[in-house]
Structure 1
Amino acid sequence: MDNINKPGVPTLFEWAGGMETFVNLFDKFYDKVLDDDLLEPVFKHMSDQHRLHVAHFVAEVLGGPKIYSEQEGSHFIMISKHLQKYLTEAHRKRWMELLLLTADELSLPDDPEFRSAFMAYLEWGTRIAVINSKTDEVTEPTDVPMPQWGWGVVGGPYIP
């Protein structure tokens, strides 16, 4: 059983430090992205709100408030943001590298349990983003639920 809603166990969002942590993480991270030769061309046209939307999305997935899904978009909308971006494995790996570097610089929790769960979500999410970036339409229903990630999310094999 996952600990997403287990009484007495903080969510990943809470353990990381709350919304201020996620806003700061993605703000500093996207500074690095825009200064990176590989990622800058992909992200140079992002909206002024992109950083905040991604912070709200990831925070919600990790057990934070439903700001993204109730005020800014949905999982369907997030999927559609990646369509026809043609992301490569090199893009994905560099995105991950810069985000984890930023997490270390900002002293996000580095205990094995948190980092394992955090990394698991980022690996899953970035790999889904790469898959979706190579398509021109979302195959999920418009009401596809937001992912929920906790301390021990276990899924089955990926089926395209």
Structure 2
Amino acid sequence: MAPSIPPTLYDWLGGIDALKRLTTRFYERVPEDDTLKPVFEHMGADHPAHVAAFLAEVLGGPQDYSAKHGGHPEMIRHHLNRHLTNEQRKAWLRLLLDTADELKLPDDPEFRSALVAYLEWGTRLAVINSQPGAAVDVNAPMPKWGWGEVKGPYLPD
């Protein structure tokens, strides 16, 4: 009998519908957070869907963000010269995980460990790329996150 292939993190959490619910509810809650409110006060109505598509691709779902929005280099461009702080990063992470709990997304330890690992890595990269002098690597591949096997633009294969 062939070994079963584990589902992607994307499939495990419920696919694009779950990610859209997560990002929509998260950004509804942002104005209540004094640390995050100024970061996102000029956000467009399509921002939650773009973030959902980005997370979907990173977590093993469809490559819609790359096809429609320019992939990882474009995500980096959105963070250039934003001067994000570690306090804002931690507030974003805290609120996103609290929203995942509110929406009853999977909370099993293996899934949450993998999800938090990506979110920690990704938010730290966002802060780094928001500082003066940061530049976009136009060839940076989209990170691909899984159950402990990580491949990304700044990680060894």
Is TM (by shorter chain) over 0.5?
yes
Aligned to 1:151: 147
Deviations 1:55-94 (A, max 9, x none): 0001110001011001122100100100111111110110
C-alpha distance in structure 1 between counterparts of 2:28 and 2:150, whole Å: 33
The structure 2 residue matched to 1:129, chosen from 126, 129, 151, is: 126
Aligned to 2:50: 53
Aligned to 1:71: 68
Conserved? CA contact 1:16–1:108, under 8 Å: yes
The structure 2 residue matched to 1:26, chosen from 17, 23, 28, is: 23
Percent of matched pairs sharing the same residue? 55
Deviations 1:14-55 (A, max 9, x none): 000111000000000011112211111111111221111000
Aligned to 2:107: 110
Matched residues, number: 151
1:9 aligns with 2:6: yes
**What is the TM-score with the length of structure 2 in the denominator?**
0.90
C-alpha distance in structure 2 between counterparts of 1:154 and 1:19, whole Å: 21
1:24 to 1:135, Cα distance in 2 relative to 1, 3 A: same
**What is the TM-score with the length of structure 1 in the denominator?**
0.88
Conserved? CA contact 2:22–2:99, under 8 Å: yes
Aligned Cα RMSD in Å?
1.8
Q: Which runs of 5+ in 1 are unaligned?
A: 1-5
Q: Which runs of 5+ in 2 are unaligned?
A: none
C-alpha distance in structure 1 between counterparts of 2:4 and 2:144, whole Å: 16
Runs of 4+ in 1 over 2 A off after TM superposition: none
C-alpha distance in structure 2 between counterparts of 1:31 and 1:57, whole Å: 18
C-alpha distance in structure 2 between counterparts of 1:136 and 1:11, whole Å: 35
Structure 1 position 138, deviation (Å): 1.8
SS in structure 2 opposite 1:92?
helix
